[in-house]
Amino acid sequence: MPPILQIRDREVGRGCPAFVIAEAGCNHENDFDRARELVLAAARAGADAIKFQTFNPDTLVTRDAPKFWDIPGPGNTQYEEFLDAMTRFTPEQYRELITLAHQNGILFFSTPGDEAWSDFLEDLGVSLYKVASMDITHLPLLRHIARKGKPIILSTGASYLEEVRTAVEAIQGEGNDRILLLHCVSSYPTDPAEVNLRMMQGLATEFPECVIGYSDHTLPEQGLCVPSLAVAAGAKVIEKHFTFDRTRPGYDHEISVDYAGLQEMVARFRAVERVLGGATKRPTPSEERARRWGRRSIVAKVSIPQGTRITSEMVAVKRPGTGIDPKFISQVLGKVAMTDIREDQVVTWEAIAS
Protein backbone atom coordinates (compact mmCIF):
# COMPACT_ATOMS: atom_id res chain seq x y z
CA MET A 1 0.00 0.00 0.00
CA PRO A 2 1.43 3.44 -0.91
CA PRO A 3 2.88 5.35 2.02
CA ILE A 4 2.01 8.65 3.63
CA LEU A 5 5.02 10.92 4.09
CA GLN A 6 5.17 13.76 6.55
CA ILE A 7 6.77 16.87 5.06
CA ARG A 8 6.91 19.53 7.74
CA ASP A 9 3.22 20.18 8.57
CA ARG A 10 1.79 18.34 5.55
CA GLU A 11 0.95 14.72 4.87
CA VAL A 12 1.58 13.58 1.32
CA GLY A 13 0.45 10.30 -0.20
CA ARG A 14 -2.39 7.84 0.21
CA GLY A 15 -5.71 9.54 0.89
CA CYS A 16 -4.17 13.04 0.97
CA PRO A 17 -4.82 15.95 -1.40
CA ALA A 18 -2.27 16.35 -4.18
CA PHE A 19 0.84 18.17 -2.97
CA VAL A 20 1.19 21.07 -5.41
CA ILE A 21 4.65 22.42 -6.18
CA ALA A 22 4.92 25.79 -7.88
CA GLU A 23 8.20 25.46 -9.75
CA ALA A 24 9.63 28.96 -9.90
CA GLY A 25 12.98 27.60 -11.07
CA CYS A 26 14.94 30.58 -12.31
CA ASN A 27 11.94 32.57 -13.51
CA HIS A 28 12.66 35.28 -10.92
CA GLU A 29 15.51 36.36 -13.26
CA ASN A 30 17.66 37.16 -10.22
CA ASP A 31 15.37 39.98 -9.16
CA PHE A 32 14.93 39.46 -5.42
CA ASP A 33 11.74 41.49 -5.24
CA ARG A 34 10.38 39.34 -8.06
CA ALA A 35 11.37 36.23 -6.13
CA ARG A 36 9.41 37.48 -3.11
CA GLU A 37 6.48 38.19 -5.41
CA LEU A 38 6.62 34.62 -6.76
CA VAL A 39 6.53 33.22 -3.23
CA LEU A 40 3.47 35.28 -2.35
CA ALA A 41 1.75 34.44 -5.65
CA ALA A 42 2.28 30.72 -5.07
CA ALA A 43 0.82 31.02 -1.59
CA ARG A 44 -2.21 32.97 -2.79
CA ALA A 45 -2.84 30.36 -5.49
CA GLY A 46 -3.04 27.61 -2.88
CA ALA A 47 0.19 25.79 -3.74
CA ASP A 48 1.76 23.69 -1.01
CA ALA A 49 5.33 24.59 -1.90
CA ILE A 50 7.45 26.81 -4.08
CA LYS A 51 10.67 25.46 -5.56
CA PHE A 52 13.73 27.24 -6.91
CA GLN A 53 16.85 25.87 -8.62
CA THR A 54 20.34 26.30 -7.17
CA PHE A 55 23.28 25.39 -9.38
CA ASN A 56 26.62 26.53 -10.67
CA PRO A 57 27.16 26.19 -14.45
CA ASP A 58 30.85 25.42 -13.86
CA THR A 59 29.97 22.24 -11.96
CA LEU A 60 26.90 21.41 -14.06
CA VAL A 61 27.93 21.49 -17.71
CA THR A 62 30.93 21.82 -20.02
CA ARG A 63 31.51 25.14 -21.75
CA ASP A 64 30.51 23.81 -25.18
CA ALA A 65 27.61 21.44 -24.33
CA PRO A 66 24.86 22.06 -26.91
CA LYS A 67 21.36 23.13 -25.93
CA PHE A 68 18.78 20.39 -26.24
CA TRP A 69 15.47 22.26 -25.89
CA ASP A 70 14.10 24.46 -28.66
CA ILE A 71 13.35 27.36 -26.34
CA PRO A 72 14.65 30.86 -27.13
CA GLY A 73 17.26 31.95 -24.64
CA PRO A 74 20.69 33.47 -24.23
CA GLY A 75 23.67 32.01 -26.01
CA ASN A 76 24.15 28.90 -28.07
CA THR A 77 25.27 26.47 -25.35
CA GLN A 78 23.84 25.11 -22.14
CA TYR A 79 26.67 26.83 -20.27
CA GLU A 80 25.70 30.26 -21.58
CA GLU A 81 22.04 29.56 -20.88
CA PHE A 82 22.63 28.38 -17.32
CA LEU A 83 25.14 31.13 -16.61
CA ASP A 84 22.42 33.65 -17.38
CA ALA A 85 19.79 31.75 -15.40
CA MET A 86 21.69 30.78 -12.25
CA THR A 87 20.39 32.18 -8.99
CA ARG A 88 22.69 34.76 -7.40
CA PHE A 89 20.85 35.39 -4.13
CA THR A 90 22.81 35.57 -0.89
CA PRO A 91 22.25 33.14 2.00
CA GLU A 92 20.46 35.93 3.86
CA GLN A 93 18.11 36.45 0.91
CA TYR A 94 17.42 32.72 0.74
CA ARG A 95 16.58 32.74 4.44
CA GLU A 96 14.23 35.65 3.90
CA LEU A 97 12.45 33.73 1.14
CA ILE A 98 12.13 30.64 3.34
CA THR A 99 10.72 32.73 6.18
CA LEU A 100 8.32 34.50 3.84
CA ALA A 101 7.10 31.17 2.48
CA HIS A 102 6.52 29.72 5.95
CA GLN A 103 4.76 32.88 7.10
CA ASN A 104 2.36 32.47 4.20
CA GLY A 105 1.68 28.80 4.74
CA ILE A 106 3.81 27.14 2.07
CA LEU A 107 7.14 25.33 1.96
CA PHE A 108 10.28 26.57 0.23
CA PHE A 109 12.82 24.17 -1.26
CA SER A 110 15.11 23.85 -4.24
CA THR A 111 16.82 21.55 -6.71
CA PRO A 112 20.54 21.46 -5.90
CA GLY A 113 22.88 21.11 -8.85
CA ASP A 114 25.65 19.41 -6.88
CA GLU A 115 26.68 18.23 -3.42
CA ALA A 116 27.88 21.67 -2.32
CA TRP A 117 24.55 23.25 -3.17
CA SER A 118 22.68 20.51 -1.29
CA ASP A 119 24.85 21.28 1.76
CA PHE A 120 24.04 24.97 1.32
CA LEU A 121 20.30 24.18 1.31
CA GLU A 122 20.68 21.91 4.31
CA ASP A 123 22.29 24.75 6.26
CA LEU A 124 19.29 26.90 5.34
CA GLY A 125 16.97 24.29 6.89
CA VAL A 126 14.90 23.17 3.89
CA SER A 127 12.39 20.41 4.60
CA LEU A 128 12.90 18.37 1.43
CA TYR A 129 14.94 18.11 -1.74
CA LYS A 130 14.25 17.73 -5.45
CA VAL A 131 16.53 15.88 -7.84
CA ALA A 132 16.05 16.72 -11.51
CA SER A 133 15.39 14.06 -14.14
CA MET A 134 18.74 14.65 -15.78
CA ASP A 135 20.50 13.74 -12.51
CA ILE A 136 18.70 10.43 -11.95
CA THR A 137 21.93 8.63 -12.91
CA HIS A 138 24.11 10.90 -10.73
CA LEU A 139 24.27 8.32 -7.95
CA PRO A 140 26.95 10.15 -5.91
CA LEU A 141 24.63 13.17 -5.68
CA LEU A 142 21.63 10.99 -4.85
CA ARG A 143 23.51 9.24 -2.06
CA HIS A 144 24.85 12.53 -0.69
CA ILE A 145 21.36 14.03 -0.49
CA ALA A 146 19.85 10.79 0.84
CA ARG A 147 22.18 10.84 3.85
CA LYS A 148 20.55 14.06 5.01
CA GLY A 149 17.43 12.04 5.86
CA LYS A 150 14.96 14.46 4.27
CA PRO A 151 12.23 13.50 1.78
CA ILE A 152 13.53 13.38 -1.80
CA ILE A 153 11.41 14.17 -4.84
CA LEU A 154 12.93 12.44 -7.84
CA SER A 155 11.80 13.22 -11.38
CA THR A 156 12.06 10.35 -13.85
CA GLY A 157 12.02 12.06 -17.25
CA ALA A 158 13.88 10.35 -20.12
CA SER A 159 14.49 7.30 -17.92
CA TYR A 160 14.13 3.58 -18.34
CA LEU A 161 12.56 1.65 -15.48
CA GLU A 162 15.88 0.08 -14.51
CA GLU A 163 17.48 3.52 -14.23
CA VAL A 164 14.70 4.55 -11.87
CA ARG A 165 15.17 1.34 -9.87
CA THR A 166 18.92 1.93 -9.56
CA ALA A 167 18.31 5.49 -8.33
CA VAL A 168 15.70 4.38 -5.79
CA GLU A 169 17.98 1.64 -4.51
CA ALA A 170 20.85 4.12 -4.18
CA ILE A 171 18.71 6.37 -1.98
CA GLN A 172 17.34 3.47 0.05
CA GLY A 173 20.89 2.12 0.46
CA GLU A 174 21.68 5.21 2.53
CA GLY A 175 18.80 4.42 4.90
CA ASN A 176 16.39 6.92 3.34
CA ASP A 177 13.01 5.53 2.24
CA ARG A 178 11.22 8.90 2.04
CA ILE A 179 11.01 8.96 -1.75
CA LEU A 180 8.48 10.67 -4.03
CA LEU A 181 8.77 9.64 -7.69
CA LEU A 182 7.46 11.99 -10.36
CA HIS A 183 6.56 10.73 -13.80
CA CYS A 184 7.92 13.35 -16.16
CA VAL A 185 8.55 13.84 -19.86
CA SER A 186 11.78 15.75 -20.43
CA SER A 187 10.65 17.57 -23.53
CA TYR A 188 10.05 21.33 -23.44
CA PRO A 189 7.22 21.72 -24.25
CA THR A 190 5.72 18.23 -23.99
CA ASP A 191 3.35 17.13 -26.73
CA PRO A 192 0.17 15.82 -25.04
CA ALA A 193 0.49 12.69 -27.19
CA GLU A 194 3.72 11.90 -25.31
CA VAL A 195 2.47 12.56 -21.78
CA ASN A 196 1.71 8.88 -21.02
CA LEU A 197 0.03 9.33 -17.66
CA ARG A 198 -0.34 5.56 -17.36
CA MET A 199 3.38 5.47 -16.60
CA MET A 200 2.37 6.63 -13.12
CA GLN A 201 0.52 3.35 -12.69
CA GLY A 202 3.62 1.50 -13.78
CA LEU A 203 5.74 3.37 -11.23
CA ALA A 204 3.18 2.70 -8.51
CA THR A 205 3.26 -1.02 -9.29
CA GLU A 206 7.06 -1.21 -9.38
CA PHE A 207 7.66 1.06 -6.37
CA PRO A 208 4.76 0.60 -3.93
CA GLU A 209 6.90 2.04 -1.16
CA CYS A 210 7.15 5.41 -2.93
CA VAL A 211 4.66 8.27 -3.31
CA ILE A 212 3.91 8.79 -7.01
CA GLY A 213 3.27 12.10 -8.76
CA TYR A 214 3.68 14.00 -12.00
CA SER A 215 5.83 16.89 -13.22
CA ASP A 216 4.21 18.70 -16.14
CA HIS A 217 5.86 20.41 -19.11
CA THR A 218 2.85 20.82 -21.40
CA LEU A 219 1.87 24.27 -22.60
CA PRO A 220 -0.78 25.98 -20.46
CA GLU A 221 -2.77 27.04 -23.52
CA GLN A 222 -3.51 23.37 -24.09
CA GLY A 223 -6.07 23.76 -21.35
CA LEU A 224 -4.39 22.93 -18.05
CA CYS A 225 -6.15 19.61 -18.44
CA VAL A 226 -3.09 17.34 -18.29
CA PRO A 227 -2.16 18.09 -14.65
CA SER A 228 -5.82 17.75 -13.66
CA LEU A 229 -6.02 14.41 -15.43
CA ALA A 230 -2.89 13.38 -13.55
CA VAL A 231 -4.65 14.13 -10.26
CA ALA A 232 -7.64 12.10 -11.43
CA ALA A 233 -5.24 9.28 -12.34
CA GLY A 234 -3.85 9.21 -8.81
CA ALA A 235 -0.93 11.65 -8.72
CA LYS A 236 -0.20 12.65 -5.13
CA VAL A 237 2.35 15.28 -6.14
CA ILE A 238 2.00 17.77 -9.00
CA GLU A 239 4.87 20.00 -10.06
CA LYS A 240 4.23 22.83 -12.52
CA HIS A 241 6.51 25.66 -13.62
CA PHE A 242 5.10 29.13 -13.02
CA THR A 243 6.14 32.65 -13.85
CA PHE A 244 5.16 36.29 -13.63
CA ASP A 245 5.11 36.65 -17.44
CA ARG A 246 4.92 33.80 -19.96
CA THR A 247 6.07 36.04 -22.79
CA ARG A 248 9.51 36.57 -21.28
CA PRO A 249 12.45 35.01 -23.12
CA GLY A 250 14.54 32.47 -21.31
CA TYR A 251 14.82 29.06 -19.83
CA ASP A 252 11.23 27.96 -19.23
CA HIS A 253 8.77 30.87 -19.13
CA GLU A 254 6.94 29.40 -22.14
CA ILE A 255 5.90 26.17 -20.41
CA SER A 256 4.95 27.92 -17.17
CA VAL A 257 1.58 29.03 -15.90
CA ASP A 258 1.24 32.64 -14.81
CA TYR A 259 -0.18 33.73 -11.46
CA ALA A 260 -3.81 33.44 -12.54
CA GLY A 261 -3.08 30.16 -14.27
CA LEU A 262 -1.56 28.66 -11.14
CA GLN A 263 -4.58 29.69 -9.09
CA GLU A 264 -6.93 28.19 -11.66
CA MET A 265 -4.89 24.99 -11.81
CA VAL A 266 -4.91 24.46 -8.05
CA ALA A 267 -8.66 25.13 -7.95
CA ARG A 268 -9.16 22.48 -10.64
CA PHE A 269 -7.12 19.97 -8.67
CA ARG A 270 -9.29 20.49 -5.62
CA ALA A 271 -12.44 20.21 -7.74
CA VAL A 272 -11.17 16.95 -9.22
CA GLU A 273 -10.43 15.61 -5.75
CA ARG A 274 -13.92 16.53 -4.58
CA VAL A 275 -15.35 14.65 -7.55
CA LEU A 276 -13.10 11.64 -6.89
CA GLY A 277 -14.27 11.43 -3.27
CA GLY A 278 -13.85 8.25 -1.25
CA ALA A 279 -13.16 4.69 -2.38
CA THR A 280 -15.70 2.89 -0.17
CA LYS A 281 -19.02 2.37 -1.94
CA ARG A 282 -21.75 3.87 0.19
CA PRO A 283 -24.72 6.24 -0.26
CA THR A 284 -24.00 9.94 -0.07
CA PRO A 285 -26.08 12.06 2.32
CA SER A 286 -27.99 13.54 -0.62
CA GLU A 287 -29.09 10.04 -1.69
CA GLU A 288 -31.09 9.39 1.46
CA ARG A 289 -34.29 10.67 -0.18
CA ALA A 290 -33.70 8.40 -3.15
CA ARG A 291 -33.23 5.41 -0.86
CA ARG A 292 -36.38 6.23 1.10
CA TRP A 293 -38.74 7.20 -1.70
CA GLY A 294 -37.21 5.53 -4.78
CA ARG A 295 -36.52 2.04 -3.42
CA ARG A 296 -39.32 -0.54 -3.18
CA SER A 297 -41.06 -2.24 -0.29
CA ILE A 298 -43.51 -5.11 0.14
CA VAL A 299 -47.06 -3.70 -0.11
CA ALA A 300 -50.55 -5.16 0.14
CA LYS A 301 -51.89 -6.06 -3.30
CA VAL A 302 -55.37 -6.47 -1.79
CA SER A 303 -56.97 -5.65 1.52
CA ILE A 304 -55.67 -8.08 4.17
CA PRO A 305 -58.00 -8.41 7.21
CA GLN A 306 -56.51 -8.90 10.66
CA GLY A 307 -55.81 -12.58 11.35
CA THR A 308 -55.30 -13.48 7.68
CA ARG A 309 -52.28 -15.63 6.76
CA ILE A 310 -50.41 -13.82 4.02
CA THR A 311 -49.96 -15.52 0.62
CA SER A 312 -48.01 -14.47 -2.47
CA GLU A 313 -51.25 -13.41 -4.17
CA MET A 314 -51.81 -10.79 -1.45
CA VAL A 315 -48.57 -8.82 -1.83
CA ALA A 316 -46.62 -6.84 -4.45
CA VAL A 317 -43.35 -4.91 -4.58
CA LYS A 318 -43.70 -1.14 -5.06
CA ARG A 319 -42.24 2.18 -4.06
CA PRO A 320 -41.61 3.80 -1.58
CA GLY A 321 -38.85 2.04 0.35
CA THR A 322 -40.21 2.77 3.81
CA GLY A 323 -41.42 -0.75 4.55
CA ILE A 324 -40.01 -4.26 4.44
CA ASP A 325 -37.20 -4.76 1.92
CA PRO A 326 -38.23 -7.02 -1.00
CA LYS A 327 -35.40 -9.42 -0.19
CA PHE A 328 -37.42 -10.52 2.88
CA ILE A 329 -40.54 -11.49 0.92
CA SER A 330 -40.08 -15.19 1.67
CA GLN A 331 -40.13 -14.37 5.38
CA VAL A 332 -43.34 -12.34 5.01
CA LEU A 333 -45.26 -15.10 3.25
CA GLY A 334 -47.05 -17.32 5.75
CA LYS A 335 -47.10 -14.66 8.47
CA VAL A 336 -50.41 -13.52 10.01
CA ALA A 337 -51.67 -9.95 9.77
CA MET A 338 -51.77 -8.45 13.28
CA THR A 339 -54.03 -5.62 12.11
CA ASP A 340 -56.10 -4.76 9.08
CA ILE A 341 -53.79 -3.91 6.17
CA ARG A 342 -55.48 -1.89 3.47
CA GLU A 343 -54.89 -2.39 -0.23
CA ASP A 344 -51.69 -0.65 -1.50
CA GLN A 345 -50.46 -0.09 2.06
CA VAL A 346 -46.76 -0.58 2.81
CA VAL A 347 -46.30 -3.68 4.97
CA THR A 348 -44.19 -3.28 8.11
CA TRP A 349 -42.81 -5.87 10.48
CA GLU A 350 -45.03 -4.45 13.20
CA ALA A 351 -48.12 -5.30 11.10
CA ILE A 352 -47.41 -9.03 10.90
CA ALA A 353 -46.78 -11.77 13.44
CA SER A 354 -43.15 -12.67 14.06
Handedness of CA 229, 231, 232, 236 (dihedral sign): positive
- Statement to judge: residues 36 and 144 lie in one domain: yes
- Give a yes or no: residue 328 inside a domain: yes
Closest to 264 measured CA to CA, from 237, 240, 297: 240
DSSP 190: P
**Which of 218, 246, 276 is at the close of a domain?**
276
CATH code, 130: 3.20.20.70
Q: Give the β-pairing of 297-300 and 315-318.
A: antiparallel
Closest to 55 measured CA to CA, from 102, 121, 122, 152: 121
Mean pLDDT of the chain: 94
* pTM recorded for the entire structure: 0.89
- Give a yes or no: residue 1 inside a domain: no
- Give a yes or no: residue 3 inside a domain: no
Using pLDDT thresholds of 50, 70 and 90, give the confidence band for residue 251.
Answer: low
Report the number of distinct structural domains present in the chain.
2
- Give a yes or no: residue 4 inside a domain: no
Average pLDDT of the segment spanning 261-282: 95
Average pLDDT of the segment spanning 246-269: 89
- Statement to judge: residues 231 and 342 lie in one domain: no
Using pLDDT thresholds of 50, 70 and 90, give the confidence band for residue 223.
Answer: low
- Statement to judge: residues 204 and 343 lie in one domain: no
Residue pair 306/339 in contact (Cβ under 8 Å)? The answer is yes
Q: Give the pLDDT confidence of 130-162 residue by residue, as tens digits.
A: 999 999 999 999 999 999 999 999 999 999 999
**Residue 1, pLDDT score:** 60
- Give a yes or no: residue 299 inside a domain: yes
Q: Which structural domain range is residue 338 located in?
A: 285-351
Average pLDDT of the segment spanning 286-306: 97
**Residue 101, pLDDT score:** 98
**Which of 276, 294, 315 is at the close of a domain?**
276
Amino acid at 269: F
Give the C-alpha separation, 309 to 200, whole Å.
62
- Statement to judge: residues 135 and 33 lie in one domain: yes
CATH code, 334: 3.90.1210.10
Could you tell me if residue 105 is left (phi over 0), alpha (psi between -120 and 50 degrees) or otherwise beta? left
